Structure 1
C-alpha cells in the first residue's frame, strides 16, 4: 500500500493542492492574481524540462518521418476535434477547459517515459514533443480564437507573444545550453530538474484553483455529477485519441514500437501550458488536471500491456 502511495504521490499532491487552493481563495487571491508569478513559474518549468531533452534521439525519427507526422497530426488536430462534442453536454467553463486541454502541446516528460515503458520508439515521442511545443505559439491562439473567442481576454497576437516568451524561448534556451556544454550537468541532475518541474506544476495548480474561483469554478455537492461527466469526457478523449492514432499506425503497417509511440505521444498533453492557457481564457482548470491524471493512469496500464 505504501509503495502504491509513493508511486502515485504526484497525483495525490495535485488533488490536495487543488483542494487547498479552492478552499483558501480569500487568503491567497492577491498572490494568485499576480501574472508575473505564473509567467516565471511557467518559464522555469519549461526550461527545466527542455534541458533534459536529448536531441540525438530526434535525428533517428527525422530520417523516417511518417510515424512522427501521424503522432503530431493527432496531437495538434485530432485531440482538439475530439473535445468539441463536449460542448453539447458540459457547462461552458468545463467544456472550454477540456478544449484547452486538447489544444495544448504534447507533454515534455511523460510521453517519452511512457513510450519507453511500452517498449516503443521514444525518438517519435521526442519529435512530437518538440514540434507541438514550438508550434503552439500559432496553434493555441488560432484554436482559442475559433472556439473560445467569447471567453478569452487576451488578443491572439498577445497570446502568441506570451507563448513565445514563456514556452518556446525557454525550450530554445535550454537546448542552446546543452550545445554549449550543459548537457552533462543536465543528464546528471535529471531527477532533480524533474522534481523542480513537478513543484512548479503544483504551484500552477494551486494558483489555477484560486484564480478559477472568480470564474465560477466551484466544487460543491450539487455539481459533483458535472465533475464526473468532465472526468468521463477527459478520459474518453484521451483513450479515443490513443486508439485512433494506434489504429492508423497499424493500418499503415508500422512496426509495433512505432505504433506505441504514436498512440502515446499523439494523445498526451502538457499540464503546465494547459493551466496557463485555461487561466488566461477564464475557463476551468479542472479538465486539464483530470486529463493529465487520466493519461498517466491509463497509459501506465496500456504501456504494461503493450510491452507484454
Structure 2
C-alpha cells in the first residue's frame, strides 16, 4: 500500500462516509433505521475497553489533574465560550452553537481517536463516562443559565438509563471478562486489531450521524441561511473546537503531564456528541441543528488530522 494511503486511510474513509451519508440520506435513512444503532455504540465501547486493564482505568481516575482539566473544559469552559462566540451569529444559529457546547463528550470516538494517536485512552474513556452520566444535570442547567428559557424537553431518567446501558455496561462487561487470563492475554495480543475494529465501528457510527444530519438538513428551506452566514457559522464552530483543543493540549503540558495525557485531554475536552445534540437543538428550530452538524463534522475531520500529526505513534 502506498505510504500516503497507509497513513491517511482513516481520514479518507471518514470523508467518504460523511459524503455518502449526507448525499444519500433519504435513500439510507430507511434501511439504517432498521439497524439497532444503540448496539453498535455499545459494541464500540466494549471493544475500546477490552484491551484496557482495570489499573489503567483506575489510574486515569486517580489522575486528577488530567481528568479534571478535561472535565473543566467540557463541562465548565465550553458553554460560556460558545455563548460569547455566538454573539456574532443570528439567534437560532447562536443557540445551536451553545447547545453543541453544552452536550457531553461524544460516545466512543474520543477514546478511539486518542488510542489512534497512541494517547492515554483510559483518560478519554473516563471523561466520556463522567460527562455523559452528568449531562442530564449539566445540559439543562447550562441552557437555563445561558438562554434563560426552558422550552426544550429532556427526559433525564430515560437518558440516564440509555447512557448506563450504552456506555457504562459495556465497559463493566469488558473488565469482567478480563478477569479471565485467557481473555486478558487475547485482548493484549490483538490490541492493534481491536483498535482497528473500533475505528471501523466508529465509521459506521459516523454514517448514522451523517444520514441523520443530512436528512434533517433537507427540512430547512433553501436560502434560509446565506453564504456569509454559513461561512461565519463554520468559522465560529471551528474556532470553538480549536480553542478547546488547544486549551487542553497547552494546559495539560503546563501541568507537566506526558504527551499521551495531553492528547487525551485535548480530544476529550473538545469533542461533543451529535446523538444528544441534535435532539435538543431541534427544540429551538430547524436552523439550530446546523452548528451541531457542523461541529460533528469538523471535530471528526480536524481531530483526525491533528491526531495523525500530534500522535505518539500510529496504532493502525
TM bin, normalised by shorter chain, reads 0.7 to 0.9
Q: Deviations over 1:203-249 (max 9, x none)?
A: 22222222223433689997666555455444433442344345545
1:297 corresponds to 2:305: yes
Q: Which residue of 2 aligns with 1:114?
A: 117
Q: Which residue of 2 aligns with 1:129?
A: 124
Q: How far apart are residue 134 of structure 1 and its match?
A: 2.5
Tell me: CA distance 1:197–1:244, structure 2 relative to 1, closer, same or farther (3 Å). Answer: closer
- Given candidates 293, 296, 316, the residue that maps to 1:285 is 293
1:178 corresponds to 2:178: yes
Is residue 238–residue 268 contact of structure 1 (8 Å, CA) maintained in 2? Answer: no
Q: Which residue of 2 aligns with 1:51?
A: 50
Q: How far apart are residue 141 of structure 1 and its match?
A: 2.5
CA distance in 2, matches of 1:30, 1:218: 16
SS of the residue 1:109 aligns to: helix
Q: Which residue of 2 aligns with 1:78?
A: 77
Q: How far apart are residue 289 of structure 1 and its match?
A: 2.6
Deviates more, 1:39-48 or 1:128-137: 128-137
Q: Which residue of 2 aligns with 1:216?
A: 217
Tell me: CA distance 1:230–1:100, structure 2 relative to 1, closer, same or farther (3 Å). Answer: farther
- What is the alpha-carbon root mean square deviation over aligned residues? 3.7
Q: How far apart are residue 101 of structure 1 and its match?
A: 6.6
| Long gaps (5+) in structure 2 | 145-149, 283-288
CA distance in 2, matches of 1:147, 1:63: 27
CA distance in 2, matches of 1:148, 1:30: 32
Q: Which residue of 2 aligns with 1:236?
A: 239
- Given candidates 77, 98, 101, the residue that maps to 1:99 is 101
Which structure 2 residues correspond to residues 254-273 of structure 1 after superposition, within 5 A? 254-255=255-256, 258=257, 260-269=259-268
TM-score w.r.t. the length of structure 1 is 0.75
Q: Which residue of 1 aligns with 2:31?
A: 31
Q: Which residue of 2 aligns with 1:15?
A: 15
SS of the residue 1:10 aligns to: helix
Tell me: CA distance 1:19–1:292, structure 2 relative to 1, closer, same or farther (3 Å). Answer: closer
Q: Which residue of 1 aligns with 2:135?
A: 140
Deviates more, 1:283-292 or 1:209-218: 209-218
Is residue 94–residue 230 contact of structure 1 (8 Å, CA) maintained in 2? Answer: no
Count of residue pairs brought into register by the alignment: 291
Q: Deviations over 1:19-54 (max 9, x none)?
A: 2122222222223335x6211111111111111223
Q: How far apart are residue 11 of structure 1 and its match?
A: 1.7
Q: How far apart are residue 165 of structure 1 and its match?
A: 0.7
Is residue 29–residue 210 contact of structure 1 (8 Å, CA) maintained in 2? Answer: yes
Is residue 71–residue 245 contact of structure 1 (8 Å, CA) maintained in 2? Answer: yes
SS of the residue 1:107 aligns to: helix
Is residue 97–residue 286 contact of structure 1 (8 Å, CA) maintained in 2? Answer: no
Tell me: CA distance 1:12–1:274, structure 2 relative to 1, closer, same or farther (3 Å). Answer: same
CA distance in 1, matches of 2:61, 2:167: 23
CA distance in 1, matches of 2:157, 2:44: 23
1:202 corresponds to 2:210: no
CA distance in 2, matches of 1:95, 1:110: 23
Q: How far apart are residue 187 of structure 1 and its match?
A: 1.6
Q: How far apart are residue 268 of structure 1 and its match?
A: 0.5
CA distance in 2, matches of 1:148, 1:14: 31
TM-score w.r.t. the length of structure 2 is 0.74
